[in-house]
């Protein structure tokens, strides 16, 4: 791969036997989103190929840090003290029959630092009330739904071949987000 890039995608499908569309987050490395289609299908086999993308971004800038994909063989110690985390915050609004979610990336030295950043977001502060607090799903001893180091949830092939190098860089704009209904066969 000449120019490997980290992508974050929100996948959607309605598996057989389900009443509503289901979603999952997917991180992978490729040169273009369309390069990820085989890995997407392998990631969510229960969807039987009926997957679409609801949102995606190329991850290059996160809160004043540059994120680069580098070959593991070229720079085996690319990972410094700062790490890239994915967090899935969950929250509720009075009178709304739903759990709302906010997906975010954070650069921090550890999970506690990432969770601290999540708790500073407007979503966390304003989507909860007594008896239905904001949280981070599938928490590991913290008040958050999910929190993962991105390098740990890459595809097995990507984990074997690449590292993420994170360096301070406040001069670049935040990544563009692409939102909509993107069918895999039309990428």
pLDDT at 176: 96
- Does position 145 have pLDDT exceeding 70, yes or no? no
- Does position 75 have pLDDT exceeding 70, yes or no? no
User: In this structure, which topology does domain 61-155 adopt according to CATH?
Assistant: Ubiquitin-like (UB roll) (3.10.20)
- Does position 147 have pLDDT exceeding 70, yes or no? yes
Checking 136-139 for CB contacts under 8 A at 24+ apart, the result is 136/87, 136/88, 136/89, 136/90, 137/88, 137/89, 137/90, 137/101, 138/88
CA 1 from centroid of its chain's CA atoms: 22
What is the average per-residue pLDDT within 5-23? Answer: 93
Lowest mean pLDDT among 37-41, 118-122, 157-161: 118-122
Distance CA 146, CA 45 (A): 22
Out of 3.40.50.300, 1.10.569.10, 3.60.20.10, 3.10.20.10, select the CATH number for domain 1-60+172-186.
3.10.20.10
Q: Where in the chain are all domains bearing CATH 3.10.20.10? A: 1-60+172-186
The upper half-sphere exposure of residue 139, i.e. CA atoms within 13 Å in the direction of its Cβ, equals 15
CB 112 within 8 A of CB 144: no
Degrees to nearest 5, angle at CA 39 with 30 and 106: 60
User: What pTM, to 2 d.p., does this model score?
Assistant: 0.88
């Amino acid at each position: 791969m000449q120019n490997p890039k980290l992508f974050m995608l929100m996948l959607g499908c309605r598996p057989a036997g389900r009443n509503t569309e289901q979603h999952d987050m997917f991180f992978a490395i490729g040169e273009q989103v369309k390069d990820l289609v085989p890995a997407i299908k392998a990631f969510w086999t229960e969807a039987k190929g009926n997957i679409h993308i609801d949102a995606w971004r190329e991850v290059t800038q996160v809160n004043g840090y540059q994120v680069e994909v580098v070959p593991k063989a070229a720079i085996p110690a690319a990972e410094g003290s700062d790490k890239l985390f994915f967090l899935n915050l969950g929250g509720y609004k009075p009178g709304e029959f739903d759990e709302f979610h906010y997906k975010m990336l954070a650069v921090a030295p550890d999970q506690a630092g990432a969770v601290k950043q999540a708790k500073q977001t407007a979503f966390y502060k304003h989507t909860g009330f007594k008896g239905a607090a904001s949280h981070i799903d599938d928490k590991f001893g913290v008040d958050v739904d999910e929190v993962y180091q991105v390098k740990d949830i890459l595809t097995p092939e990507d984990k074997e071949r690449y590292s993420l190098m994170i360096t301070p860089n406040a001069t670049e704009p935040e990544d563009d987000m692409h939102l909509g209904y993107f069918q895999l066969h039309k990428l």
